[in-house]
Amino acid sequence: MLTTVPRGTKDILPENVHEWQYLENKIRELCLLYGFNEIRTPMFEHTELFMRGIGETTDVVEKEMYTFLDRGGRSITLRPENTASAVRSYLQNKLYADGGITKLFYIGSMFRYDKPQAGRYREFHQFGIEAIGEQSSLIDAEVISLGAALLKDLGLNDVLLKINSVGCPKCRPVYREKLQSFFKDKLTELCNDCQSRYERNPLRILDCKNPHCKELAEGAPKITDCLCEECADHFDKLQDSLTNLGIDYILDSHLVRGLDYYTKTAFEFKYLPLGAQSAILGGGRYDGLIEECGGNPTPAVGFATGLERVLLALETQKLLPPKNAYCDVFIIAMGKKAEQPAFKLLQQLHDKKLSALMDYAGRSMKAQMKQANKNGAKYAVIIGDDELANESATVRNMTDSAQTTVPFASLIDKITFEVNK
Ligand code: AMP
């Protein structure tokens, strides 16, 4: 127990951390270009926020939240996603105060009591963006294009963009009824989850993963045939914009989100080689959520992407960068007397902003050379009895093995010059 992580979590080890940094840097660069600003919200919130912000009938809220009473008796939940928190912060901090659109992005850990498997964890990381305060379909297209640009910048091919419209509280009830009458005589054949969805949330039957439910849903009426004029117009314009930007997509009438505050656009990027966990990025419009959380009616659109899945996709495509060893100088002290001068030199090199390492265990020359190589050192600086007597160090270029003797007085300048040249 003491030496294993809880199920569904994992360490990100030093040998892999550069992969995360690579991905996060790409994300930050892109968000800067599109004018999205980073927000960092707490890892936990009042449980009520997620009940409202995600919806009490969703799997996430019903089955997957890490909820506990804190020592003050308050119900607290580890965030299972970040949109609700972003909206809470937007309202609490009046991020709307300047008027116009508020563009936010986040990167961080999320927590869901999910069934762990490849690409599915209990602590996982999401990058997401939220554009709050604009109803134009242009911003839906921009949000989608940022997602597409990220996957493209990373070099991921084989991605598929699916889009749909889920209508709005005006047109959806008509569709809901049509859908219920379509499933009425198939009700007993649906899985247990879908049977309870039938009353509460029938649109969700369409994206059930159960193969039999999928079969039963074939030929179901399409919501896009039931959209009101405003929603139909929004969806048409979105498609025009995507075509204008050269972003390929397919229409998928089974791509749905059942809750009232999801409106109009729904989309998903799939990375097909990942199989069961192929959904790598999902999002849509949620014009009703801000009001649901206590604000004025405010349109908004966003997406979230699972970073573990993106990394998995990059790994299968061999698109991850190699780890660069980073060590300018390895100092080799031979003998006790050399230890303090070498240690001082180490500090002086750090002061010059060079990466420098030394061995503290008094190992043999051969062992220390090996260490220098393992760390990818560009130079080794050797200080032993002879060097101390001559007040000079031996500087070895680790690439071509050339050695020079450099007086202590000019050692720092010489190394700084060589490393930076
Ligand atoms: P969602 O918030 O459920 O729409 O999920 C958005 C994205 O987060 C998905 O497309 C996945 O890439 C990722 N994701 C969701 N749940 C998990 C999980 N348990 N483990 C890893 N990634 C996840």
| CA distance linking residue 58 with residue 257, whole number of Å | 10
Q: What is the 3-state secondary structure (H, E, C) of 188-211?
A: HHCCHHHHHHHHHCHHHHHHCCCH
* Atom in ligand 1 nearest the alpha carbon of residue 279: 10
Q: Give the SS3 label for residue 2.
A: coil
268 neighbors 241 (Cβ within 8 angstroms):
no
For the chain, 421 residues long, give each residue's pLDDT as a single digit of tens: 789 999 999 999 999 999 999 999 999 999 999 999 999 999 999 999 999 999 888 889 989 999 999 999 999 999 999 999 999 999 999 999 778 899 999 999 999 999 999 889 999 999 999 999 999 999 999 999 999 999 999 999 889 999 999 999 999 999 999 999 999 999 999 999 899 889 888 998 998 889 999 999 999 999 999 999 999 999 999 999 999 999 999 999 999 876 678 899 999 999 988 887 888 999 999 999 999 999 999 999 999 999 999 999 999 999 999 988 789 999 999 999 999 999 999 999 999 999 999 999 999 999 999 999 999 999 999 999 999 999 999 999 999 999 999 999 999 999 999 999 8
pLDDT tens sequence across 329-352: 999 999 999 999 999 999 999 999
**Which domains, ranges and CATH numbers included, belong to the chain?**
14-171+227-316 (3.30.930.10), 327-420 (3.40.50.800)
Ligand 1 atom with the smallest distance to the CA of 121 is 20
- What is the CB < 6 Å shell around ligand 1? 81, 112, 114, 119-121, 124, 126, 279-282, 304-306, 308-309
Which of 165, 167, 172 lies closest to 202, judged by CA?
Answer: 172
- Long-range contacts, 357-362 (Cβ 8 Å, 24+): 357/327, 357/329, 357/330, 357/331, 358/330, 358/331, 358/332, 358/333, 359/332, 359/333, 362/333, 362/335, 362/336
Question: Are residues 287 and 263 in contact, defined by beta-carbon separation less than 8 angstroms?
Answer: yes
What is the whole-number distance in angstroms between the Cα of residue 308 and the centre of ligand 1?
A: 9
In terms of Cα–Cα distance, which of 20, 208, 7, 18 is closest to 126? Answer: 20
CA end-to-end span of the chain: 51
Centre of ligand 1 from the C-alpha of residue 384, in Å: 57
- What are the distances in angstroms from CA 319 to CA 23, 152, 154, 315? 11, 12, 7, 6
pLDDT digits (tens, 9 = 90+) for 279-320: 899 999 999 999 999 999 999 999 999 999 999 999 999 999
Closest by alpha carbon to 147, among 312, 17, 286, 301?
Answer: 301
Is 0.85 topped by the overall pTM?
A: yes
Q: Which atom of ligand 1 is nearest to the CA of 80?
A: 2
According to DSSP, the residues that pair with 103 across neighbouring strands are: 131
Q: Whose CA is nearest to atom 17 of ligand 1?
A: 120
Q: What is the pLDDT of residue 258?
A: 61
Interatomic CA distance for residues 281 and 271, integer angstroms: 9
